[in-house]
Copies of this chain bind each other. A is one copy, B any other.
C-alpha cells in the first residue's frame, strides 16, 4: 500500500494507530508543563541525500536519528526531553510499511510524539521539533572562561568513519565489529541526556553537542563565549582509528571535521566534581584557537558549501 492510496486523512488515521497516545486529532496538542520549569525548544531538519540515505539507513534508523539529533540539542543544555512534533515531507509513492517503521524509530527515542504535519515531497524530509524542560538556568555554549578545562563525553570520529565506509564500501582488513560500530554510530547516534543534566547540575560552565566536528564546535563555543582554546588531545575512538588506518584515512580529521558524533563538548571550572566520565582535550584560554600549539585548521561541515570538510 502506498501513501498515495490512503490520502492525507487516511494516512493520519494510520499514524494514530501507530502512536496511540498522541493527541494528533486536533491540529495543535495541549501539553502540561511541570510547575516552575522553563521550556526548551529546538528544531532540526533532516533531508534525504544530505543527512541520510534510504539505501544506507532503514526507515527505523532514520526516524530514530531525526529524534536523537533534536534530543541532543536539549541534552547539551541539560534539559529533560519531553515532547516531539514531526513535520514530514514524503514522496506520495512511499510504502505505508516504510512510514510505520519510521514512526517506530521516532518512538524508540522514548519521547512522546504530540503533533505533526505531512506533505507530499520529492524526497523524504523530517523537520522535528523537540521540547524539553529545565529546572534552573540552562547550560549554554556561551559560559566558557579562560582557565576552564575542555572535555568531551566520549571519543569522536565513529560516525564520520561510518559515512566514509558507506561511501566506499570496502571492508578488507577491517574487523567486522569495527565496521558495525562505525555504521551504527552514523545510523543511531546516542543523545547524551543524562550526561548533560548531570553536568549542568554539577556547575559546568558551557556545553554543546559535537554535531559539526570538533574543530567547528570548539570554534562555536569560543565565539559564543568570547574566548579561545588550546586543544592538546583529539580523542579518536579506537574503532574509528582502526578503520581509518586500514583505509588510509586521516583519523584525526574524522574527529576534527567529520561531525555527527553527538558527544557533548563541555567547559568545566577548576575543582569541578565530575559527575560523568569525561575525556580531557585541552583548556579555554584568552586569544585564539590552537591545536597542539598550531592554529586550529578550518573546516567543519557547513551545509551550503559542498566538500568543505566531509
Mark A residues whose CB is within 8 Å of B.
3-4, 6-9, 11, 25-33, 35-45, 47, 50-51, 73-74, 76-77, 79, 83, 85-89, 92, 114-122, 125, 127, 129-132, 134, 138, 140-142, 208-209, 220, 224, 302-305, 308
A28 touches B8 (CB 8 A): no
Known: A43-B117, A43-B127. 5 other contacts (CB 8 A): A27-B42, A28-B76, A30-B38, A45-B88, A50-B119
B27 touches A41 (CB 8 A): no
Question: Smallest Cβ distance from A54 to chain B, in angstroms?
Answer: 17
Closest to A207 in B: B26
Contacts of A28 in B (CB 8 A): 40-42, 73-74, 76-77, 79, 130, 132, 138
B117 touches A45 (CB 8 A): yes
Checking B47, B74, B85, B142 against A42 with a beta-carbon cut-off of 8 angstroms, the contacting residue is: B85
B38 touches A33 (CB 8 A): yes
Number of copies of this protein chain within its complex:
2
A120 touches B50 (CB 8 A): yes
Checking B77, B85, B89 against A43 with a beta-carbon cut-off of 8 angstroms, the contacting residue is: B85
Contacts of A7 in B (CB 8 A): 302, 304-305, 308
Complex CA–CA separation, A214 to B165 (angstroms): 53
Question: Smallest Cβ distance from A297 to chain B, in angstroms?
Answer: 16
Contacts of A83 in B (CB 8 A): 41
Ordered by A's residue number, 21 sampled pairs between the chains whose C-beta atoms are within 8 Å are A7-B302, A8-B303, A9-B302, A26-B138, A27-B77, A28-B77, A28-B130, A29-B41, A30-B38, A30-B138, A32-B38, A33-B37, A33-B38, A41-B85, A43-B87, A44-B117, A45-B117, A45-B119, A50-B119, A89-B125, A125-B125
Contacts of A125 in B (CB 8 A): 89, 121, 125
A8 touches B304 (CB 8 A): yes
Complex CA–CA separation, A130 to B43 (angstroms): 11
A29 touches B25 (CB 8 A): no
Question: Smallest Cβ distance from A66 to chain B, in angstroms?
Answer: 12
Contacts of A27 in B (CB 8 A): 42, 73, 76-77, 208-209
B302 touches A115 (CB 8 A): no
Checking B40, B86, B209 against A30 with a beta-carbon cut-off of 8 angstroms, the contacting residue is: B40
A40 touches B45 (CB 8 A): no
Q: A6-B304, A87-B127, A208-B26 are in contact. Are A39 and B31 (CB under 8 A)?
A: yes
